[in-house]
Amino acid sequence: MKTRYLIAFTALTIALSGCTKLDEKLNGQIGNSGVSSGNVSALLNASYTAMRNPFQGAYGWWALQEFPTDEAIVPTRAGDWDDNGAWRALHLHRWAADHARISEVFRNLNSVSYVATNVLQFSPSAGQSAQARFLRAFAQFAILDGWGQVPYREPGEDVTQPSKVRAAAQEMDYLIAELNAVLPDLPDGPVFNANKDAAKILLMKCYLNKGAFLNRSAPTFDQADMAKVITLADEIINTGKYTLASKYYDNFAPANDQLSKENIFTAQNIGGSDAGGLNSMWIAGLHYNQTPNGNNGFATLSDFYDKFEATDQRRGGPYAGVSNVTGVNAGFLIGQQYNGAGTALKDRKGNPLIFTREVSITERDPNHLEVAGIRVMKYPVDNQNTSTGLPENDWVYYRYADVLLMKAEALLRNGRGAEALPIVNSIRAVRGATAFSSLTPDNLLDERGREFLWEGVRRQDLIRFGKFLTLWQEKPTDDPKYLLFPIPDNQLGNPNFKQNAGY
Is 481 inside any structural domain?
A: no
d(CA 292, CA 341): 15
* Residue span of the structural domain in which 385 resides: 269-393
Query: What are the pLDDT digits (tens) for 268-321?
Result: 999 999 999 999 999 999 999 999 999 999 999 999 999 999 999 999 999 999
Kindly state the DSSP code that residue 344 receives in the 8-state scheme: B
pLDDT digits (tens, 9 = 90+) for 319-330: 999 999 999 999
What pTM did the predictor assign?
0.93
In a domain, 167, yes or no: yes
> Based on the domain organization, do 299 and 333 belong to the same domain?
yes
For 160-170, what is each residue's pLDDT tens digit? 899 999 999 99
Question: Beta-carbon neighbour count of residue 238 at 10 Å?
Answer: 8
Reduced 3-state DSSP string for 352-399 = ECEEECCCCCEECCCCCCCCECEEEECCCCCCCCCCCCCCCCCEEEEE
| 263 falls within a domain | no
The verdict on 308 and 385 lying in the same domain is yes
Q: What is the pLDDT of residues 344-364, one digit of tens each?
A: 999 999 999 999 999 999 999
> Is there a domain that residue 27 lies in?
no
What is the reported pLDDT for 17? 34
**Residue 339 domain-assigned?**
yes
Task: Give how many domains the chain has, as a whole number.
Answer: 3
Q: For residue 476, which amino acid is it?
A: P
Calculate the average pLDDT of the chain: 93
Residues 59 and 162 grouped into a single domain: yes
Q: H or E element: which one contains 170?
A: helix 168-182
Could you tell me if 156 and 297 lie in one domain?
no
Which SS3 state, helix, strand or coil, does residue 15 take? Answer: helix
Q: Give yes or no: residues 58 and 170 share one domain.
A: yes
Contact yes or no for 5/267 (Cβ under 8 A): no
Enumerate the β-bridge partners of residue 335: 355
Looking at the fold, whether 406 and 367 belong to one and the same domain comes out as: no
Is residue 334 domain-shared with residue 200, that is, in the same domain? no
For the stretch 121-162, pLDDT in tens is 999 999 999 999 999 999 999 999 999 999 999 999 988 899
Mean pLDDT of 233-238: 98
Residues 118 and 11: beta-carbon distance below 8 Å: no
Q: Are residues 206 and 129 in the same domain?
A: yes
* Residue 30 predicted with pLDDT over 60: no
C-alpha pair distances (Å), 500 with each of 96, 168, 222, 480, 481: 11, 12, 25, 11, 8
Express each pLDDT in 369-411 by its tens digit.
999 999 999 999 999 999 999 999 999 999 999 999 999 999 9
Is residue 262 domain-resident?
no
- When pLDDT is averaged across residues 219-231 and rounded to a whole number, the result is 98
Q: Give residue-wise pLDDT tens across range 173-182.
A: 999 999 999 9
Look at residues 346, 375, 393 and tell me which one is the last residue of a structural domain.
393
